[in-house]
Amino acid sequence: MDGALPMTVPMDGLPARVRIHEVGARDGLQNEQTVVPVEVKAEFVRRLAEAGLRTIEATSFVHPKWVPQLADAEQLFPLVSDLGGVRLPVLVPNERGLDRALALGAREVAVFASATESFARANLNRTVDEALAMFEPVVARAREEGLRVRGYLSMCFGDPWEGAVPVGQVVRVCRSLTDMGCDELSLGDTIGVATPGHVLALLTQLNQAGVTTDRLAVHFHDTYGQALSNTLAALRHGVGVVDASAGGLGGCPYAKSATGNLATEDLVWMLHGLGIETGVDLGRLVATSAWMADRLGRPSPSRTVRALAGTTPRQEQ
């Protein structure tokens, strides 16, 4: 309390600690134009771990034809799998992807479902239910192998084709994912349109449908600048796992097509101001994102990175 910023002033009714699920290396780089060499990716993941992040989604075992930016998953995973105490979930789209992840010794996997028919069709070329049927054996086998399984659900609040997405529709797909054995659900606002009352309504209806808050994570995008206020609403409801992307990777500040991932630094600023533990060293994280922005050849879209990178102000240590 000696003038350091942000000043820490706790607020009632919030969790004491939040686990940040860092998605920059996977969701972030997957959406960047620049293809990053595997050594740089490995260094990025190591620096994220050194900055105190303890859940780092490393890569995706999707077919390289669909996501060329992550075609090096087989090369990358062994380079980072020795980081003590760091959880390294990987995305697996299907059984073939799970085979590849298991062969490398992955201990956590994630599947990626859609709450809307339009996006299921566009992204997976399936109906919502066909996609769920495809994931069912993947989740079952992962659990048999003792893996932890996360279910991503995209378009939980709005969809570019369908507009606003009814809460009940999202709840139904969430129930399917938990019923098939997902340990955790990440509720994605893929196009960034949610507002706090909508977030609270979804969380409340999920609880009423038997999906408890301790199994829920939130994944907000800053396309309309709403990610942190939505996060605050989720924290007040008791959510303790928040997805974010170091440096806001994946959301280019100059492109209209910005996906706008919530920047981990902006999240950490708020959480530390609220006295919520994250384990993250903000200065090291900012330095890591500034370093990665240099590799990508453009400034970081994170406001906190832009404000702090290269400075040595009276910020927290």
CA distances to 26, 88, 134, 139, 288 from 85, in Å: 19, 10, 31, 24, 19
**Cβ proximity to its own copies, 25 vs 155, nearer residue:** 155
Q: Answer yes or no whether residue 298 interacts with its own copies by CB under 8 A.
A: no
Which entry of 156, 174, 182, 252 is annotated as an active-site residue? 252
**Cβ proximity to its own copies, 38 vs 232, nearer residue:** 232
The contacts of residue 91 (CB under 8 Å, 6+ apart) are 26, 57, 59, 60, 61, 62, 97, 109, 110, 111, 112, 152
* Calpha distance 190→31 (Å, rounded): 12
Q: Scan residues 118-157 and list those touching its own copies (CB under 8 A).
A: 157
Q: Tell the smallest beta-carbon distance from residue 2 to its own copies (Å).
A: 7
* Calpha distance 227→39 (Å, rounded): 31
Which of 15, 260, 287, 290 is the binder for its own copies (CB under 8 A)? 260
The helix (H) or strand (E) run that includes residue 47 is helix 38-50
> Residue 250: left (phi > 0), alpha (psi -120 to 50), or beta?
left
Question: For residue 217, what are its two tokens?
Answer: 């994570």
Q: Tell the smallest beta-carbon distance from residue 221 to its own copies (Å).
A: 10
**Cβ proximity to its own copies, 94 vs 169, nearer residue:** 169
Q: Tell the smallest beta-carbon distance from residue 103 to its own copies (Å).
A: 40
Q: Answer yes or no whether residue 300 interacts with its own copies by CB under 8 A.
A: no
196-225: burial string, b at 16+ Cβ within 10 Å, e else? bebbeebbeebeeeebeeebbbbbbbbbee
Q: Answer yes or no whether residue 197 interacts with its own copies by CB under 8 A.
A: yes
Q: Which of 159, 153, 154 is nearest to 174 (CA)?
A: 153
**Cβ proximity to its own copies, 69 vs 190, nearer residue:** 190
Q: Answer yes or no whether residue 117 interacts with its own copies by CB under 8 A.
A: no
Q: Tell the smallest beta-carbon distance from residue 253 to its own copies (Å).
A: 6
Cβ-contact 110, 127 below 8 angstroms: no
Q: Tell the smallest beta-carbon distance from residue 109 to its own copies (Å).
A: 31
Question: For residue 203, what are its two tokens?
Answer: 């969380």
Q: Answer yes or no whether residue 158 interacts with its own copies by CB under 8 A.
A: yes
**Cβ proximity to its own copies, 11 vs 35, nearer residue:** 11
Q: Scan residues 210-249 and list those touching its own copies (CB under 8 A).
A: 222-226, 228-229, 231-233
Is 156 in the active site? no
**Cβ proximity to its own copies, 91 vs 153, nearer residue:** 153
Q: Where along the sequence are the contacts to its own copies (CB under 8 A)? A: 1-11, 157-158, 160, 162-165, 192-198, 200-201, 222-226, 228-229, 231-233, 253-254, 256, 258, 260, 263, 266, 269-270, 272-275, 299, 302-304, 306-307, 310, 313-314
Task: Cite the active site residues.
Answer: 252
